[in-house]
């Protein structure tokens, strides 16, 4: 039997050189492809991107410019549905334009009679009551809604959406994988880590600008400086969002008295030119200190113990899924607590892995649910 072709437009924060959001896109594309292979449906993604050429080359999919209305309209008009991709798309903290844009894409699709799907999004913070009403009015007409944490689930309920219409699933990136043998090697590395105590431990570090006075980064710099002086470690700096995180990384190193032009052997700055490359770099760490949400998700995905520093509730929400708490927030950060968290995890890596592995594996399994639902939607629709 000839397979049915379904063109699905995918909307999200894509093409901005943010490794986390690119990983979200790759995870969605991979999950949809896996689901399509299990059904008689051929999915052709069309990604809305600020850099469609780069997106098309990186993922081998069609892409159109997200800020060119005619291209967006044509893509949706010719599609069989629209996916509003994962990430923190619906929030009014960084801009008041974000929510109207992403809801506008969904509303246009609904106006054109296309099915719409919310794919493992983090909802909020949303401070303006008007935006609550807008989200509720658009989401009421969506064919599927999934969110990535309990707080997003509760917020949508507060807005008046029926809880039976909302599915809570993990972030899509929990389902992203390296080669199978790499995953097993990483697990074995964690279980055998205490047998190589003489080897330096690699501490991954993902930071971003947040506090205007840089007080948060200053304290992280102090913690890293002390860890470097007192422990046998290698610092692997991992900028997730270029060029902003690169600048934040350089700021921290300067605060530590280190020139980025001539790095010492025990400090590395690693740039992942693709989500899988960055995932691979994270997998080589023994512990990861992360401000970026997806740095923590990458680490958990690869069974690397995490020390989260919260600048946004989404950090705390993800750590709660691992039954963990942050080492502090950008408002209240204790240098000694960060150092103690890192030291404990370097020593107790095996125990952390044994405790968290069942939780991580469950999150990986659940991360496939949205793609399965979308695939089944079209199977059912074709069978009508």
352-362 pLDDT, tens digit each:
999 999 999 99
373 and 256 within one domain: no
- Of the chain, the end-to-end C-alpha distance in Å amounts to 17
Task: Please tell me the distance from the alpha carbon of residue 32 to that of residue 7, in angstroms, as a whole number.
Answer: 12
130 and 269 within one domain: no
190 and 55 within one domain: no
Res. 183 pLDDT band, cuts 50 70 90:
very low
**pLDDT tens string 227-272:** 999 999 999 999 999 999 999 999 999 999 998 888 999 999 998 7
What was the pLDDT predicted at 181?
Answer: 42
Tokens of 61: 């999919």
Quick one: which of 239, 229, 177 has its CA closest to 209? 239
What was the pLDDT predicted at 274?
Answer: 87
295 and 189 within one domain: yes
220 and 155 within one domain: no
Q: What residues make up the domain containing 112?
A: 4-169+367-383
Quick one: which of 119, 114, 96, 136 has its CA closest to 14? 119
What was the pLDDT predicted at 195?
Answer: 46
pLDDT: which is higher, 341 or 39: 341
Res. 192 pLDDT band, cuts 50 70 90:
very low
351 and 225 within one domain: yes
305 and 163 within one domain: no
Whether 130 has a pLDDT exceeding 60, the answer reads yes
Res. 124 pLDDT band, cuts 50 70 90:
very high
188 within domain boundaries? yes
151 and 197 within one domain: no
Beta bridge partners of 4: 41
203 and 138 within one domain: no
Q: Which residues lie closer than 8 Å to 216 by C-beta, 6 or more apart?
A: 210, 291, 309, 311, 330, 333
307 and 242 within one domain: yes
Whether 109 has a pLDDT exceeding 80, the answer reads yes
Task: Please tell me the distance from the alpha carbon of residue 217 to that of residue 208, in angstroms, as a whole number.
Answer: 8
The CATH number of residue 98's host domain is: 3.40.50.2000
123 and 22 within one domain: yes
Q: What mean pLDDT comes out for the span 175-204?
A: 64
175 within domain boundaries? no
Q: What mean pLDDT comes out for the span 148-156?
A: 96
174 within domain boundaries? no
């Amino acid at each position: 039997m000839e397979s049915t072709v379904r063109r699905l437009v995918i909307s999200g924060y894509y093409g901005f050189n943010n490794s986390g959001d690119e990983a979200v896109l790759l995870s969605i594309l991979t999950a949809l492809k896996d689901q399509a292979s299990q059904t008689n449906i051929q999915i052709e993604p069309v990604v809305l991107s600020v850099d469609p050429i780069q997106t098309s080359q990186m993922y081998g999919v069609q892409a159109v410019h997200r800020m060119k209305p005619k291209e967006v309209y044509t893509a949706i008009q010719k599609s069989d549905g629209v996916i509003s991709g994962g990430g923190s798309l619906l929030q009014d903290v960084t801009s008041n334009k974000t929510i109207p844009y992403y809801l506008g894409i969904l509303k246009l699709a609904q106006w054109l009679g296309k099915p719409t799907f919310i794919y493992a999004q983090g909802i909020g913070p949303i401070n303006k009551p008007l935006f609550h009403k807008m989200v509720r009015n658009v989401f009421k007409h969506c064919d599927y809604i999934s969110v990535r944490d309990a707080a997003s689930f509760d917020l949508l309920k507060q807005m008046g959406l029926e809880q039976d219409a909302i599915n809570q699933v993990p972030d899509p990136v929990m389902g992203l994988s390296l080669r199978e043998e790499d995953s097993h090697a990483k697990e074995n590395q964690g279980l055998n880590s205490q047998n190589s105590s003489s080897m330096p431990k690699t501490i991954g570090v993902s930071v971003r600008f947040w506090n205007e006075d840089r007080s948060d980064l200053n304290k992280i710099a102090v913690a890293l400086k002390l860890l470097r002086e007192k422990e046998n470690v290698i610092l692997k700096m991992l900028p997730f969002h270029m060029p902003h995180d690169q600048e934040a990384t350089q700021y921290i190193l300067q605060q530590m008295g280190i020139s980025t032009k001539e790095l010492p052997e025990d400090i590395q700055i690693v740039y992942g030119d693709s989500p899988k490359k960055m995932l691979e770099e994270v997998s080589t760490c023994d512990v990861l200190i992360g401000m970026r949400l997806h740095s923590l998700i990458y680490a958990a995905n690869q069974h690397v113990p995490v020390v989260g520093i919260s600048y946004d509730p989404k950090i705390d929400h993800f750590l709660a899924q691992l039954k963990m708490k942050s080492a502090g927030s950008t408002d209240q950060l204790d240098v000694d607590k960060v150092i103690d968290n890192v030291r404990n995890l370097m020593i107790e890596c095996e125990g952390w892995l044994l405790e968290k592995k069942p939780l991580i594996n469950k999150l990986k399994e659940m991360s496939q649910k949205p793609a399965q639902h979308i695939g089944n939607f079209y199977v059912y629709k074709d069978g009508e």
